[in-house]
Amino acid sequence: MTKNDTQRSQHLDPRGRKTKILATTGPATSDPEVLRQLFKAGVDAFRVNMSHGEHTIHAETIANIRALESEFRRPIAIFCDLQGPKLRVGKFKDGKAVIRHSGHFTLDRKDEPGDETRVQLPHPELFGLLEKGQRLLINDGKIRLRVIRADEDEILCSAEVGGVISDRKGVNVPDAEIPIPALTEKDRKDLAFAVEQKADWIGLSFVQRPEDLAEARRLMGDYGALCAKIEKPMAVRRLGEILEASDGIMVARGDLGVELDPEEVPPLQKHIVNVTRAAGKPVIVATQMLESMIESPTPTRAEVSDVANAVYDGADAVMLSAETAAGDWPVEAVTIMHRIARQVERDDAYLPRVRFLDTPPDPTTADALSHACMTIADTVPIAAITVFTGSGSTARRVARERPSVPMLVLTPSERTARRVALLWGAAPVMTKDIGSFEEMIGKGKRMALRHGFAEGGTKLIALAGVPFGTPGSTNLLHVVTVAGDELDKHGG
């Protein structure tokens, strides 16, 4: 496809970009009008952080998001993010204490307030597990301890980096696989709430092993997609197995950046994105992307580059956390992220870069046709690819190829439409099922015109399966030309 053709297809795409934006809700977005402004600014999916807030508040937020769907007639994904098993120290006599640099500090099982020499660690599974030389990181790594000796009652450490420690600060254990379940009692209650609210994605925190996903999958039943958040080195070592057991991956750089040296995170981010993309599953890059915009109306140049790099890597979505949940400039943060992604995707070097990753099609008809969509769109001036799907699997196959034009995903399933809202290049549209080839072609043209993905004289690719309505039967690819009066001819 020529540069002019690419610019033309982007003009026809209402969002003008294929990378999705996932924005976290919170106090700054409690007003329905703010949510509306965020959606209009470019948000494709909303994250509900179950670590904070009550279920009644979250239910109200979800209802407001569903109201946006009705108003704009566009499916929106809701991502409920579970807190996970967070390790924390106990409390101190004065609420805090100072750990001396190079001094000794003990973590024990005594149910007593701590001081500058010791504190309770109310996690019995860690005692007897840790070994000499392993690290304990407290308060997001601001305090770094090295184990000298560990037994069933005490963990004696040397403070490599000391400082002020206060009540209930978080503890990271990067050098050991901790034998605790990925779901706490709170997580089970939150998951039940998320399923009741028909959340489209469930984010599972602090995944260490593929088995961690099994219980969540069982409790979810057949509703929603499961996203494994990669934030522990142990998860990276078993990434392939975790990826196989999940529906998508989030590169959660917050805790991952605590447990690894800073310089290890960027190449690891690229590795996780590449492996997930190659598997044909959506991947989200998250945490501190526009962190300074919590307080500032403009980002730093480094933050802009960070977002741009994630887009250049071909991530399906980029995420805003506190920027939209509690920041002073939530709409501005979404606006600048939208502008960055759109600008990167207009770069002539963008497609060659995202396609530098080899994603050869599997030896199936569906994969072969999905690959053909990409090559046809590169050769012929195509406005969009219309994909007819019930489960969303065909859309994922097409997105895996990173075609040069947007993908209009037409589905009779509300659940599928919402779920693919996080998928690269996918614009989901709810529509009645089709029963014939002629109906497929007519509906594809009308929907492309109605939603701004085509105009008179442009060409579309139609991808579907015959017999219609049969999962996994993708076997039909057709190139059609849209007539200017298509909506009138077929009654809109």
Active site residue 287: yes
Quick check: 210 and 242 in contact, CB under 8 A?
yes
Catalytic residue (one of 17, 229, 232, 342): 229
The CA–CA distances, whole Å, from 62 to 4, 48, 66, 318, 479 equal 40, 8, 6, 20, 39
Active site residue 66: no
Measure the N-to-C terminal CA separation of the chain; round to a whole number of Å: 30
DSSP for 150-186, please give it.
Answer: E-SSEEEEEEEE-EEEETT-EEE-TTS-----S--HH
Catalytic residue (one of 6, 25, 287, 474): 287
Assigned token pair, 140: 């997001």
Closest CA to 174 of 139, 146, 137: 137
Quick check: 230 and 259 in contact, CB under 8 A?
no
How big is the CA angle at 390 (ends 205 and 475), to the nearest 5 degrees?
120
Quick check: 414 and 69 in contact, CB under 8 A?
no
Catalytic residue (one of 15, 47, 91, 396): 47
Active site residue 86: no
Active site residue 142: no
Alpha-helical regions (H) of 288-404: 301-312, 322-325, 330-345, 350-354, 365-379, 393-400
CA quadruple 81, 87, 93, 94: dihedral sign = negative
Catalytic residue (one of 8, 36, 86, 88): 88
Q: Which residues are catalytic?
A: 47, 88, 229, 287
